[in-house]
Amino acid sequence: MQLEFDQIVLSPGQTLLLHDINWQVFETLLQELEETSATRLSYSKGWLEVMVPLAQHEYAKTLIGNLVEILLEELDIEFLALGSTTFKNEIMAQAVEADECFYIQNEAKVRGKDRLDLAIDPPPDLAIKIDITSRTLFDNYEQLGIPELWRYDGEKLEINLLQGNHYVISVSSAQFPDFPVLEWIPDYLKKSKLVGRNTALKEFRTQIREKISQCRRR
């Protein structure tokens, strides 16, 4: 008897790893789950990881995305935020759904496009992965050439910069080199749970403006 995907039930926080999944099956699964935001998929050369995020996971990914958007807005940088869009390259047999992702340097190259294919389009400049339940297993982000990957484990932020074909952990962001995001992002996530989301974001925006003003006076 063949097991159908809709027979599998995952609770929030659980991860399922399947092997020998060909690209056609993966594409079919993507279509079936197109209207569902409750799962995250990662595919690499026949291996498929399916994860159902926790509420804690979704809160962190949304707030980090908000903080990045504030940074870009205050720096007056055009950007395209694409959330958990599926990025794939059939030739490389790789696909990922980041928790949040941003086109920044390459924003103009994808502006106005309804569909993206990394076989012809550039990858997002920044991807954010929330690894609260378990650390992502695959190296698809490297394989797809995403220049910068942030990982947040519920306590600490880790910045990975692509050098050659592999990520190297960095103490600063290539996108925001003048801002201590390793310190600020976790701090404001914690603060939001004490003073509320809106208050924390307003304080973050104020701090960004003060930092920009300091840089301009130098």
pLDDT digits (tens, 9 = 90+) for 144-164: 899 999 999 999 999 999 998
CB 93 within 8 A of CB 45: yes
C-beta of residue 118 within 8 angstroms of C-beta of residue 89 = yes
198/77 Cα distance (integer angstroms)? 22
As assigned by CATH, the class of the 54-217 domain is alpha beta
Q: Residue 89 is encoded by which pair of tokens? A: 């390259």
pLDDT in tens, 61-115: 999 999 999 999 999 999 999 987 777 767 666 777 788 999 999 999 999 998 8
| Closest among 159, 146, 215, 213 to 185, alpha carbons compared | 159
Mean pLDDT for 186-192 is 96
Instruction: Give domain limits for the chain.
Output: 54-217
| The model's pTM | 0.82
Q: Does the pLDDT at position 1 exceed 70?
A: no
Give the integer Cα–Cα distance in Å for 155 and 217: 34
Contact between residue 150 and residue 176 where contact means Cβ atoms under 8 Å apart: no
